[in-house]
């Protein structure tokens, strides 16, 4: 407000001061612009408030405003980026679970119930697997690609239900072979870059031993073609569904020579006369170390099996040596006459079972048995049983009781601590042929999950009869 003297205005006939608005007051917008011009002549930190105090460049009010902006930006990112991504991931996980393709985990970020991070389908191959083994030439001369691997290099892994995306330890007694041990997940862990399955003298569920069985059922399976290698010291009624078994290693001892051996077998059904395979079509790579197994089958299976000697160093306690054992299986339903299984022992091919070896037998009205076309999962276990070979307990020495052979006596059932044996596995790797084969426990051409659901009574309880329900047995 400015003061001006004007003769036109008087008080009691005398000149007196009067009030008149300035130009700035009559034009507020111009006044504001003038003030902004004055403010721009100084830096922000040089400005003063009305009381003469210097203004702070960073105030609580400013921080609050910035925080509000960040919250709004975060909300927009979540709405237009995070939400679509998580929605797609959940959809992919559900699709993978429906295909039983791999072990997607349960929580956001892929963390499972025990805090381990589950691998994604693209991580079926362990990052620690050497690049030079991603490809191999099969025994058929064709190209095979790595589909799954586990190097077990991360120490401290456990295998209770929910701990691992690919493996799970079972909690049961393997009564089918009358094992001496109870299988418990606590007997399995990783240490020193290997999978360790430990067998202990331990009273558990009315048995005297505890050990471990690791399996990939309903997590990782393979069909069509597979070459599985490890290192250690039907959609319609014309297709029969069965429970095939290919044994990579079953250990035994040739007592007369005190020599360790592996039994490498394919279990088939139905059986031909006298459980005899056609040995004339079998290919044995080194007959000095491999021979036909004297066990040909029993009530529930026919065994196509050969025995191969195992090199002694693989049995040495804490030995740095690992033996390579595996098998290559090709089972294309369109070329059944050419299908085969080739086993590997001590890092070399040991024997091959062609489809012709399990051919038809008109004498017992049995047709061609098939090299398994079923999706197959993996099992690793460390068992003790008389069914496979009589256990000579008096010759067993436990690591911390070296030189003190133990005997099955009542007094030793109370002395169960600090006695154990271990099986170490350096890695598991699986390849599939580039032209045929894949990963999945329930592929569209073999919908295993549907088959189980359709016959859930058989899978959910042990039958009261002999277990042979003809309603579910058929042969293609």
> Using one digit for the tens of pLDDT, what is the confidence trace for 297-331?
888 889 999 999 999 888 776 566 789 999 999 99
pTM over 0.75: no
The answer to whether residue 339 scores a pLDDT higher than 70 is yes
Q: Which of 202-206, 210-214, 363-367 has the highest mean pLDDT?
A: 210-214
Distance CA 405, CA 395 (A): 6
Would you state the pLDDT for residue 382?
93
Q: For residue 26, what pLDDT band results from cuts at 50, 70 and 90?
A: low
Model confidence at 101, pLDDT cuts 50, 70, 90, reads very low
- Is the per-residue pLDDT at 71 higher than 90? no
Q: Is the pLDDT of residue 132 over 60?
A: yes
pLDDT in tens, 134-168: 999 999 999 999 999 999 999 999 999 999 999 99
The residues near 305 (Cβ < 8 Å, ≥ 6 apart) are 247, 263, 264, 265, 266, 292, 293, 295, 296
With a cut of 90, say whether residue 433 has pLDDT above it: yes
Give the mean model confidence (pLDDT) for residues 365-382.
Answer: 91
CA distances for 125 relative to 83, 110, 122, 351, 438, angstroms: 28, 17, 7, 28, 14
- What domains can be seen in the chain, in order of their start residue? 121-472 (2.60.120.200)
Mean pLDDT of all residues belonging to the chain:
76
The mean per-residue pLDDT over the stretch 276-283 comes to 92
91 has a pLDDT exceeding 70: no
Q: Is the pLDDT of residue 19 over 80?
A: no
- Say which DSSP state 305 is in: E
Segment 282-288 shows an average pLDDT of: 97
- pLDDT of the residue at 22: 53
Percent of the chain with pLDDT over 70: 67
- In this structure, the strands spanning 245-247 and 251-254 are unpaired
């Amino acid at each position: 407000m400015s003061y001006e003297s004007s003769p036109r205005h008087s008080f009691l006939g005398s000149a007196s001061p009067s009030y008149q608005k300035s130009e700035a007051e009559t034009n507020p917008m111009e006044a504001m612009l003038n003030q902004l011009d004055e403010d721009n002549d100084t830096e922000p930190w040089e400005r003063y408030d009305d009381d003469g105090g210097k203004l702070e460049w960073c105030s609580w009010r400013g921080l609050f405003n910035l925080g509000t902006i960040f919250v709004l930006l975060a909300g927009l990112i979540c709405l237009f980026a995070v939400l679509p991504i998580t929605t797609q991931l959940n959809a992919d996980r559900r699709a993978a679970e429906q295909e039983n393709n791999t072990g997607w985990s349960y929580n956001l970020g892929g963390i499972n119930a025990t805090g381990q991070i589950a691998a994604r389908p693209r991580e079926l191959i362990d990052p620690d697997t050497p690049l030079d083994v991603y490809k191999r030439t099969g025994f058929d001369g064709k190209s095979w690609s790595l589909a799954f691997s586990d190097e077990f290099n991360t120490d401290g892994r456990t295998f209770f239900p929910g701990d691992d995306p690919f493996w799970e330890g079972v909690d049961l007694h393997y009564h089918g072979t009358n094992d001496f041990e109870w299988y418990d997940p606590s007997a399995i862990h990783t240490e020193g870059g290997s999978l360790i399955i430990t067998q202990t003298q331990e009273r558990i569920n009315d048995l005297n031993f505890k050990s471990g069985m690791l399996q990939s059922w309903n997590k990782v399976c393979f069909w069509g073609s597979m070459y599985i290698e490890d290192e250690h010291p039907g959609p319609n009624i014309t297709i029969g569904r069965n429970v095939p078994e290919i044994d990579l290693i079953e250990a035994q001892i040739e007592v007369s020579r005190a020599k360790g051996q592996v039994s490498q077998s394919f279990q088939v059904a139905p059986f031909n006369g006298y459980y005899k395979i056609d040995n004339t079509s079998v290919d044995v790579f080194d007959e000095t170390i491999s021979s036909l197994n004297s066990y040909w089958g029993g009530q529930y299976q026919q065994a196509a099996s050969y025995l191969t000697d195992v090199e002694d160093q693989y049995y040495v306690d804490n030995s740095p040596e690992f033996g390579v054992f595996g098998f290559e299986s090709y089972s294309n339903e369109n070329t059944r006459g050419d299908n085969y299984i080739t086993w590997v022992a001590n890092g070399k091919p040991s024997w091959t079972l062609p489809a012709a070896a399990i051919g038809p037998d008109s004498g017992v009205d049995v047709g061609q048995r098939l090299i398994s076309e079923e999706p197959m999962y993996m099992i690793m276990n460390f068992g003790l049983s008389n069914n496979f070979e009589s256990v000579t307990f008096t010759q067993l020495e436990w690591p911390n009781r070296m030189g003190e052979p133990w005997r099955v006596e009542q007094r030793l059932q109370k002395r169960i601590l600090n006695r154990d044996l271990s099986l170490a596995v350096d890695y598991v790797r699986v390849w599939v042929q580039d032209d045929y084969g894949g990963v999945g426990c329930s592929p569209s051409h073999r919908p295993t999950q549907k088959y189980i659901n359709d016959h859930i009574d058989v899978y959910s309880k042990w039958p009261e009869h002999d277990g042979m329900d003809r309603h579910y047995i058929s042969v293609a």
